Amino acid sequence: MTFVLNWIFTSIAIACAAWIVPGIEPFGPYAPWLCFLFTGLFLGIVNSLVKPVVSALALPATLLTLGIFQLVVNGFMLELASWLSVNLVGAGIFIDGFFSAFLGAIIVSIGCAILGVARD
């Protein structure tokens, strides 16, 4: 049940990021809410499997920048989840560039934190 709630909350946060950031928009032949759900699913998978490895490799840069580099890692994870959802499922979100992914990752992180607090 926790996985499904996290998936829904992440998808809502991605939809908010697409609404706020001009370089992020739904992509694919399906309804936009399905595009956000697919991207949320892949973001959950990427955050569980790939992000720990990338965070460990980026630990020196994260320590050097006092944790700010973790925002860059989050942007890369959002970009990877977008790429995977579009190329494997055919629907997801289109991200115009890394700056859009960076801002989107910040909004997704804040949105998940707010929605996660509301869940407890």
| Region 26-40 average pLDDT | 93
Q: What is the pLDDT of residues 60-98, one digit of tens each?
A: 999 999 999 999 999 999 999 999 999 999 999 999 999
Whole-prediction pTM value? 0.91
Mean pLDDT of the chain: 93
Which pLDDT band holds residue 119 (cuts at 50, 70, 90)? low
CB 104 within 8 A of CB 17: yes
Provide the percentage of residues in the chain whose pLDDT is more than 70: 97
Q: Is residue 67 classed as helix, strand or coil in its secondary structure?
A: coil
